[in-house]
Amino acid sequence: MSNADALIVRAVEDKSELLQLMLVVWGSHKMMIDLHTYDVAEIDALGLFTPAGQTAALASWTRRDETAYLCALHSLRPGEGVAVRMLAAVKAAARAAGAKKLKAMLTNDNMPGLTFYQRQGFRLSGLYPEAIDHYRSVIPAIIKTGYRDIPVHDALELEIEL
């Protein structure tokens, strides 16, 4: 059994840790996917926790018609397989809620995320040049640079059948 197998999945009611994490890594707890904005404070969240109660990963998702949207997925234990476990839990919850596909959004800098989602079978479904620049004009706190200081301008969307 790997470390990730020992973790417990549960719904997150108190979203303060997730919201704080999003403010630090993204600059807002609102996320834009498929031309809609979702507030992570208002939609479902799931977490992976150690038996001692420490957070290993957090995710936020919602469903609109037959599509589920993954609005955030954060690993607090990089490289231990916890993001894979967290994604599996979101996919199961989305499937149980009747969704037929799951969509995610990445900013242009996010090479680890691009690797992660494609390794998990997601396919690219959209490119929105300068979408983040426009979003930043509404929410100025959105990060300006990301992975390896790459300037953040564009949104990439990926999807997978459930």
Ligand X SMILES: CC(C)(COP(=O)(O)OP(=O)(O)OC[C@H]1O[C@@H](n2cnc3c(N)ncnc32)[C@H](O)[C@@H]1OP(=O)(O)O)[C@@H](O)C(=O)NCCC(=O)NCCS
Q: Report the nearest approach of ligand X to the CB of residue 161 (Å).
A: 19
Q: Which residues pair with 43 in a beta bridge?
A: none
108 exposed, middle or buried (CB, 10 Å; 0-12, 13-18, 19+)? buried
Give 40-91 as a DSSP string.
TTTSEEEEEE-TTS-EEEEEEEEEETTEEEEEEEEESSTTTTHHHHHHHHHH
- For residue 81, state whether it binds ligand X (rule: CB under 6 A): yes
> Least distance from C-beta 53 to ligand X, angstroms?
19
**CB count, 10 Å around CB of 33?**
19
The amino acid occupying position 111 is M
Query: Would you state the structure tokens that stand for residue 125, as one six-digit string?
Result: 């479904």
Closer to ligand X at the Cβ: 117 or 162?
Answer: 117
Phi and psi (nearest 5°) for 90? -65, -45
In the shown chain, the binding pattern of residues 26 to 65 toward ligand X, with x for contact by CB under 6 A and - for none, equals ----------------------------------------
Q: Taking CB under 6 A as the rule, does residue 73 contact ligand X?
A: yes
The 10 Å CB-count burial string (b at 16+, else e) for 71-104 is bbbbbbbeebbbbebbbebbbebbeeeebeebbb
Stretch that binds ligand X, among 44-52, 80-88, 135-143, 149-157 (CB under 6 A): 80-88
74 binds ligand X (CB under 6 A): yes
Applying CB under 6 A, the span of 40-48, 72-80, 90-98, 121-129 interacting with ligand X comes to 72-80
Q: What is the smallest separation between the CB atom of 85 and ligand X, expressed in angstroms?
A: 7
| Candidate list 14, 79, 149, 161; residue touching ligand X; CB under 6 A | 79
Give contact residues for ligand X (rule: CB under 6 A): 25, 72-75, 78-84, 106, 110, 112-113, 115-116, 119
